[in-house]
Amino acid sequence: MAYWQWGNPTAAHVVVCVHGLSRQGRDFDVLAQALVARAGGALRVVCPDVAGRGQSEWLKDPMGYQVPHYAADMLALIAQLHAQAPVEALDWVGTSMGGLIGLAVCGQPGLPLPVPVRRLVLNDVGPVIEWQALVRIGTYLGHTGRFASVQQAADAMWAISSSFGPHTPAQWLALSEPMVRPHPEGGVTLHYDPAIAMPFRTVTAESAAQGEAALWQLYDAVTAQTLLLRGADSDLLSPATAQAMTQRGPRARLVEFAGVGHAPTLVASDQVTAVQGFLLA
């Protein structure tokens, strides 16, 4: 599993940032640099490419592309980071799938972490995932395509990602460049293993509803201070679920961003400032 590291590699304060379903660790470039700039030399920000994405290897068994496997990978990563330099404060920023992995890591107190997670940022995700959002994601997941240029790929990604909210062309191109790799027949294709869609396609409305109870159980067991970010137009995290998350478990603090759906990219200055203020207060 590849990861991107920012800041002081021996800093005792570590922030792990984990991306969404079809994304990769470079999504956090802007946030990581902002956190490091504010914290000086006292911070290490680590942004993994979850298995099957970015620079990480692909799994031989596609059914391994599920949250329990990813959470185990993250425990191994954190153990390695702790062996390199002792981790004394551990924070987690998770966008969408990265937030669900965070719930698995933070909501099971017996896991072998060097220290419990101190602060948790859940970016537009919670224990209840709206079915219509899963249907929408299923229409494009696994179709990695072939494009003549990075710009053409960026344009195609924007067509399915406009819910991310306003971005300048330069911001969107910066987010898109790490999202492609060379296509064997020329041009570029999206970075991820198309087989990540296989376990996703086994989800039904019934199984998703059954999973909610387990996710609420994880959420209610979280002891970390929790910040919940929500795109005000999100189709994945409903207002009702977000409100419930402020009233149970860790009683998350809720911050919503107008004009944004699923999911805030943590590039806009107000989004970066919200996370900075919470993690580095």
For 140-151, write each residue's pLDDT tens digit.
999 999 999 999
Fold of 3-130+204-279: Rossmann fold (3.40.50)
- pLDDT(269) > 90: yes
What's 134-175 look like in SS3?
Answer: HHHHHCCCCCCCCECCHHHHHHHHHHHHHHHCCCCHHHHHHH
Q: At residue 25, what are phi and psi to the nearest 5 degrees?
A: -65, -20
| CA-based R_g, the chain, Å | 18
Q: Please, which pLDDT band fits residue 209 given cuts at 50, 70 and 90?
A: confident
Look at residue 112 in the predicted model and tell me its pLDDT. 95
Cβ atoms 103, 215 nearer than 8 A: yes
Angle between helices 131-138 and 205-220 (to 10 degrees): 120
Look at residue 255 in the predicted model and tell me its pLDDT. 98
Q: Please, which pLDDT band fits residue 133 given cuts at 50, 70 and 90?
A: very high
User: Percent of the chain beyond pLDDT 70?
Assistant: 100
- pLDDT(40) > 90: no
CA-CA-CA-CA torsion for 136, 59, 148, 133, nearest 10 degrees? 10
CA-CA-CA-CA torsion for 126, 65, 20, 149, nearest 10 degrees? -160
Q: What is the pTM of this model?
A: 0.97
- pLDDT(205) > 90: no
- pLDDT tens-place string over residues 42-101: 999 999 999 999 999 999 999 999 999 999 999 999 999 999 999 999 999 999 999 999
Look at residue 260 in the predicted model and tell me its pLDDT. 97
Q: Please, which pLDDT band fits residue 128 given cuts at 50, 70 and 90?
A: very high
